């Protein structure tokens, strides 16, 4: 985590800006937390505009870095307006490093690379349903705890995997596969609202949970649903069972995170601390401190 210093002496006693992590990879989620102000801040992280949401003692913005983001330094600028004061800008930097995506060659049956006309139409209907589920307004967080894994952490395919299928078709894995046997429990990564329960062509039995802030977790290839659309779920609540439905060859959970229209690495979201920030405040002698780089 990086703690950024303010530039006004009056503001230094009450406000702080926290950046998580200090070092990230393309495809990561990045969290900016502003504490000690009552007016909504504004700002940018490189070319991306920050949409701040209210929290108990300040505001937070969660940013999805594109998997195609350029490596190097990205500037953070946050504009604060203290009560009775003038606007001030706090700046910092986020370093983007090489994700070193793993590469994998897969040998798969023709049905996985050449869907029929009927399958293509079904896939198109699924895509429309996903778009509708993801098409929500920006609203406050629906959770009050940090995110957790929906299954024991036994990763069989990481986020960002570059795949060559039968030596021809290249794709990238925008989720994380967690091992499991058919029927094993899958739990909600955090509190939220179930916005999709659907049997899809590619992702099989699918559950999507909206956590506020246009942040979603996705659970694919289930053998059984344990929730329905419109349900409010709590962290760790049973939502389904591991399966091998959809376009897969064996049972596992494909766990995905979508933020503001972009798939991001689930591990980067789970590494963020929404509610356990350092209580230290910035001082004039310490404008940039507590740098703890994390690759996500």
Looking at the structure, tell me whether residues 158 and 46 fall in a common domain: no
Looking at the structure, tell me whether residues 61 and 112 fall in a common domain: no
Top-confidence residue, 278 or 265: 265
Looking at the structure, tell me whether residues 54 and 69 fall in a common domain: yes
Average pLDDT over residues 56-71: 94
Looking at the structure, tell me whether residues 175 and 116 fall in a common domain: yes
Looking at the structure, tell me whether residues 110 and 48 fall in a common domain: no
> Could you tell me which residues are beta bridge partners of residue 138?
none
> pLDDT band for position 187 (50/70/90)?
very high
In a domain, 93, yes or no: yes
Looking at the structure, tell me whether residues 208 and 150 fall in a common domain: yes
Q: What pLDDT score does 31 carry?
A: 96
Query: What percentage of the chain reaches a pLDDT higher than 90?
Result: 66
Tens digit of each residue's pLDDT (9 = 90 or more) over 269-296:
999 999 876 543 333 332 222 222 223 3
In a domain, 83, yes or no: yes
| Structural domain harbouring 58 | 2-99+272-289
Looking at the structure, tell me whether residues 47 and 156 fall in a common domain: no
Looking at the structure, tell me whether residues 107 and 251 fall in a common domain: yes
Q: What pLDDT score does 8 carry?
A: 37
In a domain, 7, yes or no: yes
Looking at the structure, tell me whether residues 136 and 240 fall in a common domain: yes
Looking at the structure, tell me whether residues 174 and 134 fall in a common domain: yes
In a domain, 76, yes or no: yes
SS (H, E, C) the chain: CEEECCCCHHHHCCCEEEEECCEECCCCEEEEEEECCCCCCEEEECCEECCCEEECCEEEEEEECCCCCCCEEEEEEEEECCCCCCCEEEEEEEEECCCCCCEEEECCCHHHCCCCHHHHHHHHHHHHHHHHHHCCCCCCCCCCCCCCCCCCCCEEECCCCEEEECCCEEEECCCEEEECCCCCEEECCCCEEEEEEEEECCCEEEEEEECCCCEEEEEEEECEECCCCCCEECCCCEEEECECCCCCCCCEEEEEEEECCEEECHHHHHCCCCCCCCCCCCECCECEECCCCCCC
Top-confidence residue, 262 or 37: 262
Residue 217 has pLDDT above 90, yes or no: yes
**Picking from 5-19, 93-107, 127-141, 168-182, which range would have the lowest pLDDT averaged per residue?**
5-19
Residue 65 has pLDDT above 90, yes or no: yes
Q: What pLDDT score does 274 carry?
A: 94
How far apart CA 114 and CA 34 sit, in angstroms, is: 49
Tens digit of each residue's pLDDT (9 = 90 or more) over 110-143:
555 667 889 889 999 999 999 999 999 999 999 9
Total domains in the fold of the chain: 2
Q: What pLDDT score does 113 carry?
A: 61
Top-confidence residue, 166 or 154: 154
Average pLDDT over residues 179-199: 98
> Residue 64's domain is classified under what CATH number?
2.60.40.1930
In a domain, 22, yes or no: yes
In a domain, 295, yes or no: no
In a domain, 95, yes or no: yes
Average pLDDT over residues 61-81: 94
| β pairing state of 16-20 and 29-35 | antiparallel
Q: What pLDDT score does 112 carry?
A: 56
Q: What pLDDT score does 271 carry?
A: 94
Average pLDDT over residues 162-177: 71
Looking at the structure, tell me whether residues 110 and 239 fall in a common domain: yes
Q: What pLDDT score does 141 carry?
A: 97
**pTM for the model:** 0.86
pLDDT averaged over every residue in the chain? 85
Tens digit of each residue's pLDDT (9 = 90 or more) over 233-244:
999 999 999 999
Average pLDDT over residues 83-91: 79
- Please say whether the beta carbons of 238 and 261 come within 8 A: no
Q: What pLDDT score does 276 carry?
A: 77
> Residue 127's domain is classified under what CATH number?
2.70.70.10
Average pLDDT over residues 255-263: 97
Residue 160 has pLDDT above 50, yes or no: yes
Looking at the structure, tell me whether residues 111 and 236 fall in a common domain: yes
Top-confidence residue, 93 or 7: 93
In a domain, 294, yes or no: no
């Amino acid at each position: 985590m990086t703690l950024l210093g303010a530039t006004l002496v009056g503001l230094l006693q009450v406000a702080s800006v926290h950046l998580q992590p200090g070092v990230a990879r393309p495809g990561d989620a990045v969290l900016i937390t502003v504490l000690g102000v009552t007016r909504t801040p504004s700002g940018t992280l490189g070319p991306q505009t920050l949409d701040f949401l209210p929290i108990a003692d300040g505001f937070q913005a969660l940013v999805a870095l594109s998997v195609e983001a350029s490596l190097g330094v990205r500037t953070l600028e946050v504009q604060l307006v203290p009560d009775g004061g003038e606007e001030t800008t706090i700046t910092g930097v986020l370093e983007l490093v090489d994700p070193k995506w793993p590469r994998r060659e897969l040998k798969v049956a023709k049905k996985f690379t050449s869907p029929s006309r009927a399958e293509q139409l079904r896939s198109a209907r699924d895509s429309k349903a996903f778009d509708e589920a993801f098409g929500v307004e920006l609203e406050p967080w629906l959770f009050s705890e940090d995110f957790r894994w929906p299954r024991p952490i036994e990763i069989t395919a990481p986020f960002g995997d570059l795949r060559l299928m039968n030596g021809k078709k290249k794709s990238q894995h925008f989720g994380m596969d967690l091992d499991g046997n058919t029927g094993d429990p899958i739990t909600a990564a955090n509190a939220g609202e179930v916005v999709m329960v659907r049997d899809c062509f590619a992702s099989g039995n699918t559950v999507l949970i909206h956590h506020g802030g246009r942040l979603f977790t996705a659970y694919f290839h289930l053998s059984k649903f344990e929730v329905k659309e419109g349900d409010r779920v709590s962290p760790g609540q049973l939502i389904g069972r591991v399966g091998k439905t959809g376009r897969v060859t064996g049972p596992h959970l494909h766990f995905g995170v979508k933020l503001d229209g972009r798939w991001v690495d689930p591990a980067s979201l789970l590494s963020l601390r929404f509610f356990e920030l350092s209580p230290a405040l910035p001082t004039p002698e310490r404008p940039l401190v507590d740098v703890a780089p994390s690759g996500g």
